[in-house]
Amino acid sequence: MPSESQNFVVEGKKVLSGSILTNRSKNGAVALLAASLINKGRTTLHKVPKIEEVNRLLEVLESIGVKIQREDHTIILTPPETIDLSTINKAAASKTRSILMFIGPLLHHFASFDLPQSGGCNFGTRTVRPHLWALERFGVTIEALSDRFAISHAGLSPATIVLLESSDTATENALFAAAGIPGTSVIKYASANYQVQEVCGFLKALGVQVEGIGTSTLTVTGLASINKDVAYTVAEDPTDAMFFLAAGIVTQSALTIVKAPIDFLEIELSILEKMGLNYSLTDAGISENGITKLADIHINPSKLVAFPEKIHARPYPGLNIDNLPFFAVIATQAEGTTLIHDWTFEKRAIYYTELDRLGAETVLMDPHRIQIHGPTHLRGAELVCPPALRPATILLIGMLAAEGRSILRNIYSINRGYEDLVTRLQTIGAQVEGVA
């Protein structure tokens, strides 16, 4: 596990140019790693990003007996005859909330089992109730204890379930459960987000029937046993594309984001267009999964104004929850006052106030709402990454737009979700280095 004492050093206010290829999806990759546990055959995943979130899940999988072969961005997973949870790597599991997605697949291996408490981004209280409510109709009980989750069932049955929260991971867990239960299950008010569509594509490759992909009602016809050698390619990441969109916007740059998953950026681009962004799109086909539509996004230097309504996230097809923080740093360069309502997480909006250290003018109205006044002249500063991925990345973006030298310390939270970010930024003209 890498040291958390890595830092970024940025010389800001450099105009970016050229094009940047969108990386593959963090959230899609980790969901597919969890999904591989459903399969008794060999799973080959192509174009898996080399990020710390993936590394942690690979450490967990290896610790319970899965054979891992890694060849550059391809990962081959061969399951053991019997999974051994007694040897699970608790340290790795506790560093990622993605461990929750192991619940659904492991239901088909054990009638009762424990998983370590999950970690990941620190946003305050995040319960497992959506997962419990999603799975209880199948006959599952989940108990959240101080150090672990205790999961049990006395047999699984197909069901029609209504999700009380359109949670991405709860939807995925429901899909994993339904996939291994013979018969037809219906998941209503499901998330239709990109990582859920990714899971649906993978399950279909395994022979599971999934209808309603991209909608809020998924109908799954499961199989009693899944044993198939399968290969699947991870699709492009909308939050990676949004990072470079935001970086180009705040640095007043002409930039092309290549092969962006456009269906998951349309609302973001519509808001940015209302704010004054000059951009155009070029069709770039469909990703290897046959589901994800791609486009090249060409942006030009633009004078921005504040969006006249509050900016808030919603389940797909609304503005992506993970893309909302980028609007905070963009708002620092827009004329007027922008109101951002981050209703999903208890503490994330508080992290946006760290932009003040770069010269932003923010007013935290409550733990969920923040006003940002612009445009402001950003100045270099030394900051420590917050323990949350997206708020950490917007500080880096702010530093790219800030005059002078900045240092961003302890960048593990960024490495959880972004691969080779320094090199990629350097290729489009940013002056940034990674140092110990």
- DSSP labels, 301-358: ---EE--SS-EE--STTS--TTTTTHHHHHHTTEEEEEEEE--SSSSHHHHHGGGGGG
Residues of the chain short of pLDDT 50, as ranges, are 1-4, 122-125
Indicate whether 187 belongs to any domain: yes
Q: How far apart are CA 432 and CA 405, in angstroms?
A: 10
3-class DSSP state of 183 = strand
User: Helices in 207-275 by DSSP H: which ranges?
Assistant: 238-250, 266-274
Q: What angle do CA 209, 214, 219 make, to 5 degrees?
A: 35
Residues 297 and 166 in one domain: no
Q: Do both 397 and 287 map to the same domain? A: yes
Q: What backbone torsions phi and psi does residue 60 show, to the nearest 5 degrees?
A: -65, -45
| Structure confidence at residue 216 (pLDDT) | 97
Is 142 a domain residue? yes
- For residues 194 and 161, the answer to whether their CB atoms sit within 8 Å is no
What pLDDT, on the 0 to 100 scale, is given for residue 127?
Answer: 66
Structural domain contains residue 1? no
Residue 123 shares a structural domain with residue 251: no
* 2: in domain: no
Q: Which of 233, 249, 270 is the last residue of a domain?
A: 233
Q: How many residues in the chain?
A: 436
- 68 shares its domain with 195: yes
Q: How many domains does the chain have?
A: 2
Strand partners of residue 383: 408
Alpha helices in 71-210 (DSSP H): 90-93, 103-106, 129-135, 168-179, 194-205
Q: What is the DSSP letter of 23?
A: P
Residue 152 lies inside a defined structural domain of this protein: yes
User: In what helix (H) or strand (E) does residue 143 lie, and over which residues does it extend?
Assistant: strand 140-144
- Is 182 domain-assigned? yes
Of 167, 199, 233, which residue sits at a domain end?
233
Q: How far is 335 from 113, CA to CA, in rounded Å? A: 54
Tokens representing residue 167 in the block: 């949670």
DSSP state of 242: H
Give yes or no for a contact between 60 and 87, defined as CB atoms under 8 angstroms apart: no
Q: Dihedral of CA 322/325/329/331: which sign?
A: positive
Same structural domain, 289 and 333: yes
Model pLDDT, residue 145: 86
CATH code of 89's domain: 3.65.10.10
Residues 271 and 410 in one domain: yes
| pTM confidence score | 0.94
Q: Contact 55/89 with Cβ under 8 angstroms?
A: no
DSSP code for 28? H
Which has the closest alpha carbon to 97: 115, 129, 124, 119? 119
Q: Are residues 357 and 221 in the same domain?
A: no
Full DSSP string of 298-312: EEE---EE--SS-EE
Could you tell me if residue 71 is inside a domain? yes
Q: Tell me the C-alpha distance between 226 and 167, whole Å.
A: 25
| pLDDT at res. 369 | 97
Instruction: Work out the angle between the directed axes of helices 194-205 and 26-35 (0-180°, nearest 10).
Output: 40
Q: Are 252 and 278 in contact (CB under 8 A)?
A: no
Half-sphere exposure (Cβ direction) of 233: Cα atoms closer than 13 Å: 11
Whether 194 and 104 share a structural domain: yes
Question: Are 242 and 161 found together in one domain?
Answer: no
DSSP 118: P
Of the residues 183, 208, 233, which one is the last residue of a structural domain?
A: 233
Pairing outcome for strands 405-409 and 382-384: parallel
In a domain, 228, yes or no: yes
Q: Tell me, yes or no, whether 296 and 430 share the same domain.
A: yes
Contact 36, 43 (CB under 8 A): yes
Residues 240 and 218 in one domain: no
Beta strands in 40-139 (DSSP E): 43-46, 67-71, 74-78, 112-116
CA distance 10 to 431: 6
Angstrom distance (rounded) from CA 87 to CA 85: 5
Residue 362: strand pairing partners: 372
Phi, psi of 366 (to 5 degrees): -170, 180
What pLDDT does 414 receive? 95
Instruction: Find the domain containing 277 and state its range.
Output: 7-20+236-435
Closest CA to 75 of 91, 62, 94, 93: 62
Same-domain status, 285 and 189:
no
Q: Where are the alpha helices (DSSP H) in 94-142?
A: 103-106, 129-135
